[in-house]
Structure 1
Amino acid sequence: MHGFAARLTDGEAQRMATAPDVSRVYKDRVYHTQATRSPWFMGLHDDFGAWPDAEFGDGVIIGFVDTGIWPERASFNDAGLGPVRSTWRGKCVDALGFNASLCNNKLVGAKSFVTVELDASGLLTDSNPRDIAGHGTHVASTAAGAEVPSADLFKFAGGRASGVARMARIAMYRACNIGCFASDVVAAIDAAVTDGVDLLSMSIAYPAEPFYDDLLSVATFGAEQRGVFVVLAGGNKGPTASTISNVAPWMTTVGAATTDRVFPATLRLGNGVVLTGQSLYNIPFSQSQGAGMIPLVRTSCGEYDLTPDKVMGKVVVCSQDAGASAGFDVERAGGAGIVSVQSTERFWDTVMAQPFPLPGLLLSSAGGKKLADYMSSVAYPVASFNFTCDTVTGENRAPMVAGFSSRGPNPIVPEILKPDVIAPGVNILAAWSGAAQPSDSDMDPRRVEYNIISGTSMACPHVAGVAALIKKRHGDWTPAMIRSALMTTAGPLDKNGRDIVDSGSAVGAAATPMEAGAGLVLPRLAMDPGLVYDAGTQDYVDFLCTLNYTVEQMRQFVPGLSKCARTIPGGVANLNYPSFVVVFDGSTRVRTLTRTVTKVSAQPERYNVTVAAPDGVKVTVTPTTLEFKRVNEKRSYTVQFSSEAGAKVRPAGTWDFGHIAWENRKHRVRSPVAFKWDN
């Protein structure tokens, strides 16, 4: 991109917008960051599969636009790594508080672009790449952290830690502190692409806007033009529908899922009922001040509600979601413990652990209801905690889509299904900044080397790491081919072969593509997808032209464009994307879409199509068999979707789902299909 950031009055901005050499003036905005066992949970193994096949991502450079990095962490040691490739143009800056000598063959680039935020917030600290928030350190070590023999948080989740692509290299572009100004983010993306990163991982989100109004969409379009694979967090606004962020088709958009690891703690009520929640409080039961029966009191846990006369010596039950910061408020007021209850009844059987400073746990909404019923049934409710400080794996249903994970449909272009995939994003252990507390409280004096946090921010770098493995194995693949491999091999089933559940549903309903996209990323299968759906810059230009953007709007993406030369026949739903969205409106009951697949496997293959469709929809694929002899050979097929006359009447705005898969004995290339009735 060619431009600059400036402080302007409204009048100055209006005058600049009319200058003959100015294409567009954007008002700055603030993006927000979205806050080990997970590589193994995704099926990665040291001795076989994607890790050794891709040499653990050795040499691939992942750029991170985030809050910076704490380079002293063991996750960023470069043992066993050779020099970075000679074509790499990045560097580590020398700045007050950050010495370039801290970089090595693991951390190969570190720059800062947070000057606008520093000015706006009045901070006096020099701009440097050091992470004072923890978020950037966490995501970088998740994607590409070195293997560390022993890592934990307060003895929880202890064991070997590894990034998904542990021999990939890291380049950090600090553009965020608490928030991220768009101008800083764009400058960071521009620098990363110029430096020569292979991938960009950005765990930031902003409510979706038309692409020409969204600087992140414009900047990542430029990155895709240069062959850089871009992966972004989908946002933490779930379970509300149509809250998904980062929805352009050249972006890979990631939702969050749970893993099979939990940190159980229990609350025994005075009537003998035992409620199980999760906690990172690390004093065992026998030593805990919450070991005996203690009076319970319910409050809002607001600042003015936690007074000593109300809570002294009692376990405080928060009537709204409360994190570890509320625990410090309770502790300061003399409370003996805290119970936080998920406020929405739509969250089913998934809880994010919190590092409470005093005895405390987080209950699901179902557990919270049982607690509330007990408290209203007796005059003097009491309870006791039991903290075993255990980490339990393999016993809970997983993965599930996290309740907070933002959902589709795509609010800008419904014909492009988002999110694309899901990845582990709940209770993720990774490296942490030495300047940041492990909780969300400024009163927290604790400092840790590793922290456990949750969000689509944590899911995004898992996908970046898998993409780095694919890039190492298939260095000539386009970003679209990598995205296709991730999507068409993703799993819609959990570890026990059942449908992945949407924990944003009160009843534990099966997740649809609106919550889970194509499913959970599976690295082993993504390394060898068989067929891919490819697309390039011209395809995305045609896509934007099909949206009827004006020439001025198009010039945000293609500065020299004089007019749209062509559009996509049949509309934007015909973009060669690895998923389908079919809209039946009042004008037609039949929709026909076309796709082209490229063979990337070595041997000649024949694929047969299988289809799953909801009642009342007929799907006809032509041809039903695809034969390939050579690598990079292409074949096209058409799909006719018919909403059959006489089928059950669906109200306007109704969605239903199915899939199309090309299969043989070795490969299964699966695309989710979403159907919408607008008539």
Structure 2
Amino acid sequence: MESFKLSLLPILFLAVAAAVSGDELRTFIVHVQPHKSHVFGTTDDRTAWYKTFLPEDERLVHSYHHVASGFAARLTEQELDALSAMPGFVTAVPNQVYKLLTTHTPKFLGLELPQSGRNYTSGFGEGVIIGVLDSGVYPFHPSFSGDGMPPPPAKWKGRCDFNASACNNKLIGARSFESDPSPLDKDGHGTHTSSTAAGAVVPGAQVLGQGAGTASGMAPRAHVAMYKVCGEECTSADILAGIDAAVGDGCDVISMSLGGPTLPFYRDSIAIGTFGAVEKGVFVSLAAGNAGPEDSTLSNDAPWMLTVAAGTMDRLISAQVRLGNGSTFDGESVFQPNISTTVTYPLVYAGASSTPDANFCGNGSLDGFDVKDKIVLCDRGNRVDRLDKGAEVKRAGGFGMILANQIADGYSTIADAHVLPASHVSYVTGVAIKEYINSTANPVAQIIFKGTVLGTSPAPAITSFSSRGPSIQNPGILKPDITGPGVSVLAAWPFQVGPPSPGPTFNFESGTSMSTPHLSGIAALIKSKYPDWSPAAIKSAIMTTADPDDRSGKPIMNEQYVPANLFATGAGQVNPDKALDPGLVYDIAPAEYIGFLCSLYTSQEVSVIARRSIDCSTITVIPDRILNYPSITVTLPSTTNPTAPVVVSRTVKNVGEAPAVYYPHVDLPGSVQVKVTPSSLQFAEANQAQNFTVSVWRGQSTDVKIVEGSLRWVSENDKYTVRSPVSISFV
């Protein structure tokens, strides 16, 4: 089997094991379906049936009951061949192994810590249970205090595998599905994400004196359940077991800050498990990935998922670079030691060394190059962790480091807790500093720490690492869906960062791992206000109320500070307050996803996802442009008859005021012609549904391959604007 790896978010990487000999035991996820007449009385009955496929009961790793029909088991290739001939067998896929790679390197100040946080809590989320699949949780952090929390809803069926005192009415459950039976977080990732989603209000939060303020999750009155699926590694079998348990336990929202390679949905355990969750009414929020800024790098792109991109905030942990010629440049670093603001240090570019790739400051690359008591300019990237670059400069005797972006990362900087005085600067700044070094015989510089600076702009901007669409698996569905804060996020952490200090421990982190729990918490706020809403309705509320513009009213920028496209932003930056009162929603019933899947796959492949036998010839197939999605994607083939439009149909339900009238506003360039029918939508009562169509023709001649814009339904009283992003491709 081909070996490959792809980043999880921000610290997980996937590698599928190479093919092994036929008599070696390996873990497979086996999908089976009983005969229609076979009814199981209990989950034990179903597990007993699963075991009939196995040569020994002890081979069973996990039984799936809620979101997949099948099990994980240890089998040889020959045993799998024999099993595949048994009645009820559908398919089997090898377990995929996720390894935690060290981006949190414990050097001097602890683990690698991205950036600063903003606490923009909106609402409370009372009565909602958020299940987080991650690396575990540190239950003794005050972000998981149960003080003042009501007991969990009666439907809760989960358990706490800590000592009884560790769980409470905030952290109501904690289980492990990986090799370590303890749900304790030994990494920090799970503690950070779960507290971002629903952490309690904690005053006095800060990291090394930066980002000081009160920390709070998005839904501070929601309950949290941790499903530990990642330790030294995390596997698709364990992740599927975690989703299965979260649904069975009664979670309302599932938050997953992990991902892998893009796969057909019937081979993607996360896609299969989350479909089962959504079918049972559970909202799922997943990270788009950290493989940007290249196109088509996102994962977790099934239409039933909320796929979350990452943007910046209006906060800078400022570490200013001042050159000998008087020029100053903004940069970032969390570690801000008390150093002189008057002393300058010799400045040298690591790329001046004769050692290949020394400009990236990898381990040992500065040997034999004089950097003693100098500030060293290092280039970002080349698979050398940012903190490791500073560690190499420090090891070689350097005083400080300037970390310069390469062109792909543009203006996206990260405030790490470096091991020495440092500043992470943009690509443009790096070029200017290199020009200065080359312009004088004795270049010098200072790093001047300015602390936490608020109100910076542009904000939000899409960060360079945020993965981009279009989706490979379903290009007719616009992905990602939404952007949330994923850079400089302050949240709970299990370990001390830097020298011991009083108070609770927090950390700055960056990644779509961080933006995802923001959206999970916001989904909990909506679910708390509208407990009967479907996952699709909640997603619609989030997407159609998102802000396409930044705080200055200009289009959201990308890492190059040019307007970001829809494949970077999705619908835009989430707006929690507006999402709680969206006016109209686009709803999708689970059966409609089945019809959509039948437009992509065979009946057997759809059956794997649906957990039951599906005959697509008996089902109304729903092409992507007809699926009632909150965004609209249209492809205009070159052979399109100019008088025959491509027609998109949608249905919206009134969840705002009644009676109400909405009028359409189309924001698209002249290279396409668009007609919306009818010319208004009239609602006499709440929850009434109305249909409309969007007809699209080629317009003025253009060389562009994709045009973007929006369709806005605006209420007569201007209270509601229901906005759908529109992407039109010319083939």
| Same fold, judged at TM 0.5 (above) | yes
Q: What does residue 727 of structure 2 align with?
A: 674
How far, CA to CA, are the matches of 1:310 and 1:127 in structure 2? Answer: 50
1:579 to 617, 624, 631: 631
5 Å-filtered alignment, 1:592-603, equals 592-603=647-658
**Structure 1 pair 315–15 and aligned structure 2 pair: CA distance change class (3 A):** farther
**Are the counterparts in 1 of residues 346 and 442 from structure 2 also a CA contact under 8 Å?**
no
Partner SS, residue 610 of structure 2: coil
**Structure 1 pair 562–62 and aligned structure 2 pair: CA distance change class (3 A):** closer
Answering whether residue 587 of structure 2 is matched by residue 534 of structure 1, we say yes
**Are the counterparts in 1 of residues 347 and 377 from structure 2 also a CA contact under 8 Å?**
no
1:231 to 285, 292, 299: 285
Could you tell which deviates more after superposition, 481-490 or 26-35? Answer: 26-35
**Are the counterparts in 1 of residues 217 and 521 from structure 2 also a CA contact under 8 Å?**
yes
Q: What does residue 17 of structure 2 align with?
A: none
How far, CA to CA, are the matches of 2:565 and 2:146 in structure 1? Answer: 41
5 Å-filtered alignment, 1:193-232, equals 193-232=247-286
Q: What does residue 713 of structure 2 align with?
A: 662
Q: What does residue 365 of structure 2 align with?
A: 305
1:354 to 413, 416, 428: 416
How far, CA to CA, are the matches of 1:568 and 1:511 in structure 2? Answer: 36
Partner SS, residue 466 of structure 1: helix
2:118 to 27, 32, 38: 38
How far, CA to CA, are the matches of 1:305 and 1:473 in structure 2? Answer: 56
2:245 alignment partner AA:
A
**Are the counterparts in 2 of residues 114 and 127 from structure 1 also a CA contact under 8 Å?**
yes
Could you tell which deviates more after superposition, 166-175 or 27-36? Answer: 27-36
Answering whether residue 443 of structure 2 is matched by residue 381 of structure 1, we say yes
Partner SS, residue 497 of structure 1: coil
Q: What does residue 568 of structure 2 align with?
A: 515
2:547 to 481, 491, 499: 491
5 Å-filtered alignment, 1:589-668, equals 589=642, 590-644=645-699, 647-650=700-703, 654-664=705-715, 665-668=718-721
**Are the counterparts in 2 of residues 65 and 201 from structure 1 also a CA contact under 8 Å?**
yes
How far, CA to CA, are the matches of 2:522 and 2:501 in structure 1? Answer: 33
**Are the counterparts in 1 of residues 208 and 497 from structure 2 also a CA contact under 8 Å?**
no
Q: What does residue 559 of structure 1 align with?
A: 611
Deviations 1:585-609 (A, max 9, x none): 1332521010000111242111111
Partner SS, residue 616 of structure 2: coil
Partner SS, residue 339 of structure 1: strand
Q: What does residue 189 of structure 1 align with?
A: 243
How far, CA to CA, are the matches of 2:420 and 2:624 in structure 1? Answer: 54
Deviations 1:196-229 (A, max 9, x none): 0000000111121111111110010000111000
TM-superposed deviation, 1:560: 2.9
TM-superposed deviation, 1:37: 4.7
Q: What does residue 10 of structure 2 align with?
A: none
How far, CA to CA, are the matches of 2:306 and 2:274 in structure 1? Answer: 11
Could you tell which deviates more after superposition, 625-634 or 173-182? Answer: 173-182
How far, CA to CA, are the matches of 1:313 and 1:472 in structure 2? Answer: 57
1:192 alignment partner AA:
A
Answering whether residue 460 of structure 2 is matched by residue 399 of structure 1, we say yes
How far, CA to CA, are the matches of 2:589 and 2:279 in structure 1? Answer: 8
TM-superposed deviation, 1:91: 1.1
How far, CA to CA, are the matches of 2:235 and 2:405 in structure 1? Answer: 31
Q: What does residue 379 of structure 2 align with?
A: 319
1:83 to 145, 151, 158: 151
TM-superposed deviation, 1:512: 1.9
TM-score when normalising by structure 1: 0.89
1:279 to 333, 346, 363: 333
1:66 to 122, 134, 138: 134
How far, CA to CA, are the matches of 2:533 and 2:84 in structure 1? Answer: 39
1:415 to 471, 476, 483: 476
Deviations 1:284-337 (A, max 9, x none): 333x8x943234241331112133753332222213335123222322332211
How far, CA to CA, are the matches of 2:635 and 2:497 in structure 1? Answer: 46
Partner SS, residue 311 of structure 1: coil
**Structure 1 pair 611–137 and aligned structure 2 pair: CA distance change class (3 A):** same
Deviations 1:320-356 (A, max 9, x none): 335123222322332211121112x133433111101
1:38 alignment partner AA:
R
Q: What does residue 173 of structure 1 align with?
A: 227
**Are the counterparts in 2 of residues 545 and 566 from structure 1 also a CA contact under 8 Å?**
no
**Are the counterparts in 2 of residues 568 and 575 from structure 1 also a CA contact under 8 Å?**
no
TM-superposed deviation, 1:369: 0.6
How far, CA to CA, are the matches of 2:79 and 2:373 in structure 1? Answer: 59
**Structure 1 pair 219–315 and aligned structure 2 pair: CA distance change class (3 A):** same
Deviations 1:602-630 (A, max 9, x none): 42111111111122211101101001112
Partner SS, residue 319 of structure 2: strand
2:94 alignment partner AA:
K
TM-superposed deviation, 1:529: 0.6
1:109 to 159, 164, 173: 173
Q: What does residue 262 of structure 1 align with?
A: 316
**Are the counterparts in 2 of residues 233 and 253 from structure 1 also a CA contact under 8 Å?**
yes
Partner SS, residue 573 of structure 2: coil
How far, CA to CA, are the matches of 1:326 and 1:3 in structure 2? Answer: 46
Deviations 1:72-102 (A, max 9, x none): 11111111112112221011014xxxx2320
**Are the counterparts in 2 of residues 492 and 520 from structure 1 also a CA contact under 8 Å?**
yes
Deviations 1:530-577 (A, max 9, x none): 110000110000000111x22221111223324125555672211000
TM-score when normalising by structure 2: 0.83
Could you tell which deviates more after superposition, 476-485 or 410-419? Answer: 410-419
TM-superposed deviation, 1:15: 3.9
1:103 alignment partner AA:
C
TM-superposed deviation, 1:368: 0.6
Partner SS, residue 183 of structure 2: coil
2:532 to 476, 489, 494: 476
Q: What does residue 120 of structure 1 align with?
A: none
2:446 alignment partner AA:
S
1:240 to 290, 294, 299: 294
Partner SS, residue 254 of structure 2: strand
TM-superposed deviation, 1:179: 4.5
2:161 alignment partner AA:
V
Answering whether residue 52 of structure 2 is matched by residue 8 of structure 1, we say no
Partner SS, residue 461 of structure 1: helix
TM-superposed deviation, 1:31: 4.8
Unaligned runs of 5+ in 2: 1-67, 104-113, 351-357
2:405 to 335, 339, 342: 342
**Are the counterparts in 1 of residues 276 and 610 from structure 2 also a CA contact under 8 Å?**
no
Q: What does residue 525 of structure 1 align with?
A: 578
Deviations 1:106-159 (A, max 9, x none): 0000000112xxxxxxxxxx4211111111000111110000111000000001
1:608 alignment partner AA:
Y
> CA RMSD, aligned part only?
2.2
Q: What does residue 37 of structure 2 align with?
A: none
**Structure 1 pair 438–249 and aligned structure 2 pair: CA distance change class (3 A):** farther
How far, CA to CA, are the matches of 2:409 and 2:419 in structure 1? Answer: 25
Partner SS, residue 418 of structure 2: coil
Partner SS, residue 477 of structure 2: coil
**Are the counterparts in 2 of residues 31 and 205 from structure 1 also a CA contact under 8 Å?**
no
How far, CA to CA, are the matches of 1:574 and 1:643 in structure 2? Answer: 19
**Are the counterparts in 2 of residues 546 and 568 from structure 1 also a CA contact under 8 Å?**
no
How far, CA to CA, are the matches of 1:150 and 1:233 in structure 2? Answer: 29
Unaligned runs of 5+ in 1: 45-49, 116-125
How far, CA to CA, are the matches of 2:184 and 2:484 in structure 1? Answer: 27
Q: What does residue 6 of structure 2 align with?
A: none
How far, CA to CA, are the matches of 2:665 and 2:219 in structure 1? Answer: 33
